[in-house]
Amino acid sequence: MPLFLTADEEPHAVFTKRSTGLRRHAGEISFPGGRRDPEDADLSDTALREAQEEIGLARGEVRLLGQLEPTPTWVTNYVIHPFVGLIPAGRVWELSPQEVDAVLELPLRALREGRTRTRMERRGIEFETDAYVVDEHLIWGATARILENLLAQVDELMSRPPPARPQGSPTPSTSRRSS
């Protein structure tokens, strides 16, 4: 999951609003990410590739801060492996129109303030869930659980020195998910 600092040092998280044409989770808010491909060296490589494919985030622009706990999904039965990285502010995003309708840059302060419980209905089933609401944006499900973990650990992540990488290894990204 990409993070950036504004000129006044306020951290923001980068989310995608998934394309309404997708079969699963259409129109929902998520972090950039996706399934591991056979050619991906590891899950951080998957994160880099997916972020570049979905929103045009070049691998070299990301400084890995760490990885959060894996987060399972209940409906699709995936395990998401979130990587957190720092990127420069002021990016111009290049969206994959098949996957992404919009990029959202939301301040962590507003996300913390927007934490709530909400009642929802999906596939005819009503349920109550933790969520985050910022302006008209509703973040729920696995994305909300990942965000909760991020908010609990972001100060520690931002204060650590970057991890050492073996020479010749690509710099890991800020995306999420594997299966």
Question: Which pairs with CB-CB distance under 8 Å and at least 24 residues apart come from 155-160?
Answer: 157/65, 157/66, 157/84, 158/3, 158/11, 158/65, 158/86, 160/65, 160/66
Distance set, CA 84 to CA 38, 69, 120, 142, 150 (Å) = 22, 11, 29, 16, 8
CA dist., res. 165 & res. 123, Å (int): 44
Which pLDDT tens digit goes with each residue over 121-160?
A: 777 888 888 999 999 999 988 999 999 999 999 988 888 7
User: From 3.30.1330.60, 3.20.20.70, 3.90.79.10, 1.50.10.20, which CATH number describes the 2-159 domain?
Assistant: 3.90.79.10
Which pLDDT tens digit goes with each residue over 1-39?
A: 999 999 999 999 999 998 766 666 656 899 998 889 999
Helix (H, G, I), strand (E, B) or coil at 45: helix
Helix (H, G, I), strand (E, B) or coil at 72: strand
> Around 177, how many Cα atoms within 13 Å sit in the side-chain half-sphere?
16
Instruction: Give residue 27's region: left, alpha or beta (phi > 0; psi -120 to 50).
Output: left
Residues in the chain: 179
**Cα radius of gyration rounded to whole Å, the chain:** 16
pLDDT of residue 166: 42
pTM: 0.84
Distance set, CA 36 to CA 12, 68, 81, 134 (Å) = 26, 17, 11, 30
